[in-house]
Amino acid sequence: MKKGVFITIEGGEGAGKSTLIEQLSNTMIQKGRLVMTTREPGGIPIAEQIRSVILDRGNITMDARTEALLYAAARRQHLVEKVVPALEKGTHVICDRFVDSSLAYQGYARGLGMDEVWAINSFAIQNLMPDLTIYMDASPEIGLSRIKQSAEREVNRLDLEKRSFHERVREGYMQLLKKHPDRIVLINAEQSPEKVFCDVLTVIEQRFAGFFATDVKS
Ligand code: TMP
């Protein structure tokens, strides 16, 4: 039975997810919360291996459905091996990307269809959805320029897609926001990291009253 809170962070390339996740987990740890951060695709050895196949810049012949299935396979393994056990122990989980990425990237931007991509993912996740999803919204122009400026950030196969692909990813997320207004919250990720963080803390406090208020172990 799930006891921890499951939060996912979504967004296009260069939206600032990693910075936000670090700030969020540091704050939660300071408040005495048990927290685990992880990422998709990856987070555990099997899923990291799948990640390197999907994102390998040499794999230019990869079929769109193959790509969608690989993301779903990595997701399944990561969920059962890492996320579910943590949540069951009462650890809060902050995950960099989850099923909404597949819906926006493969379902919408690649044109496979959100319903089709949802079908394989619902098989993979068996109804385990996040309690809250933060969507970090930034224009592809700003996001991609941030990636170019960052020497540490890997440039993967999907980063190499045309600007129009990244525009469609953003449109896909907008559709998801309309469909799931209770779960997904849009944050303006073009603001400073400090302002983004402040907005996210406000959202979390609103959703889970007292989450950051007390220094308790949970
Ligand atoms: P990252 O750069 O945030 O680590 O994500 C790796 C890439 O994989 C990024 O371009 C988004 C993409 N992606 C999908 O296309 N579908 C998915 O389901 C996931 C989790 C990621």
* pLDDT value, residue 41: 97
* pLDDT value, residue 157: 84
Q: Would you say residue 92 has pLDDT above 70?
A: yes
- Nearest ligand 1 atom to the CA of 154 is 2
* pLDDT value, residue 215: 54
Estimate the share of the chain in helix, then strand, then coil, as percent rounded to the nearest 5: 55, 10, 35
Domain tally, the chain? 1
Mean pLDDT over the full length of the chain: 94
Note whether residue 1 is domain-resident. Answer: no
Which domain range does residue 40 map to?
A: 6-207
> Measured from the CB, is residue 197 less than 6 Å from ligand 1?
no
Note whether residue 58 is domain-resident. Answer: yes
CA of 41 to the centre of ligand 1 (A): 7
Note whether residue 217 is domain-resident. Answer: no
CATH number at residue 96: 3.40.50.300
Question: Over the stretch 95-131, which tens digit does the pLDDT of each residue have?
Answer: 999 999 999 999 999 999 999 999 999 999 999 999 9
* pLDDT value, residue 210: 77
- Pick the residue with more confidence: 160 or 117? 117
> Measured from the CB, is residue 102 less than 6 Å from ligand 1?
yes
pTM, two decimal places:
0.95
Q: Would you say residue 93 has pLDDT above 80?
A: yes
> Measured from the CB, is residue 105 less than 6 Å from ligand 1?
yes
Note whether residue 215 is domain-resident. Answer: no
Residues 6+ apart with CB under 8 A from 128: 2, 6, 79, 83, 84
Question: Over the stretch 7-55, which tens digit does the pLDDT of each residue have?
Answer: 999 999 999 999 999 999 999 999 999 999 999 999 999 999 999 999 9
CA of 112 to the centre of ligand 1 (A): 16
Note whether residue 213 is domain-resident. Answer: no
Note whether residue 130 is domain-resident. Answer: yes
> Measured from the CB, is residue 53 less than 6 Å from ligand 1?
no
> Measured from the CB, is residue 101 less than 6 Å from ligand 1?
yes
Closest Cα partner for 36 from 72, 76, 7?
Answer: 7
At 217, the pLDDT band (50, 70, 90 cuts) reads low
Lowest-confidence segment of 2-6, 47-51, 71-75, 146-150 by average pLDDT: 146-150
CA of 31 to the centre of ligand 1 (A): 30
* pLDDT value, residue 166: 95
Q: Would you say residue 213 has pLDDT above 80?
A: no
CA of 142 to the centre of ligand 1 (A): 18
CA of 93 to the centre of ligand 1 (A): 18
| CB-based burial, 174-195: b 16+ in 10 Å, e otherwise | eebbeeeeebbbbbebbeeeee
Note whether residue 93 is domain-resident. Answer: yes
Could you give the percent of the chain with pLDDT greater than 90? Answer: 85
* pLDDT value, residue 159: 81
